[in-house]
Amino acid sequence: EKQRKGIADYFNPTVPINRISGGGESADGGDSVFAEDILAQNGTGASVLRPTESNQARGSTGADAGANGSGTSSDPSLVDMEQALKARGGESMTMEQALRHVITEVSDEGLVVELFDLDGAPLFIGDTAEPAPILRDLAAMLSEVFGLATNSVAVQGHVRSYPIMMIDNPVWTLSADRAQVMRRLLEDKGMKPVRIQRVTGFADRKPATGDPMAVRNNRLEVILLRSDR
């Protein structure tokens, strides 16, 4: 069952509203379609600290991943990281504050770590690509954690929408610049540049909420890509 539990619980081990990985369209996580109370026994994360054999999360499909090569157990590097990640939960108040900005999801592409703005606590200074101290802390954590694997990494930038009447709308350049800043932060904290497979700016084309101008749409996605993709 250790191989079938999602890695995502590491990032919020003590926050009940975000115990199940995957998140939703709100800043406090929302419900995942893989949550145990929605699709029982098929959660990517487990809501019980010590699940029994009959009451536990069973990966993204609930099937034995070895049979078809899908799921987290098809990638040993993700499995190995799971235990190390959980061991670091609750280390300090600084870590707890930083993890308020984090939602994770194990997808077909790999482990997606989403870092997002909170009201009064942005990841960047104003409408610039200058990183705030909290983002530097998150980059250091991710670089250390991702250092436990050798998988390639992708970085994606997203920003909120701006008023349509603006002559020079910054969404494309800002999302791309912020993704590049995150790449540099990861490399400065020890990630090997050769592991970065792509850096992409999505502008405001994929909002995370129903309000395209909400600050929650300002986010980065750092993806630990599956080795079998």
Tens digit of each residue's pLDDT (9 = 90 or more) over 111-140: 888 999 999 999 999 999 999 999 999 999
pLDDT, greater one: 1 or 123:
123
Q: pLDDT value at position 49?
A: 46
pTM for the full model? 0.66
Q: pLDDT value at position 105?
A: 83
Q: Is the pLDDT of residue 201 over 90?
A: yes
Mean pLDDT along residues 102-117? 89
Q: Is the pLDDT of residue 166 over 50?
A: yes
Rounded distance, CA 28 to CA 17, Å? Answer: 7
Mean pLDDT along residues 198-202? 97
Q: pLDDT value at position 2?
A: 53
Rounded distance, CA 140 to CA 185, Å? Answer: 8
Mean pLDDT along residues 75-101? 65
Q: pLDDT value at position 189?
A: 94
Rounded distance, CA 201 to CA 220, Å? Answer: 9
Q: pLDDT value at position 77?
A: 60
The Cα-based distances of 221 to 6, 168, 200 in angstroms read: 17, 25, 10
Average pLDDT across the chain, whole number: 74
Mean pLDDT along residues 21-47? 44
Q: pLDDT value at position 79?
A: 55
Percent of the chain whose pLDDT exceeds 70: 59
Mean pLDDT along residues 160-166? 86
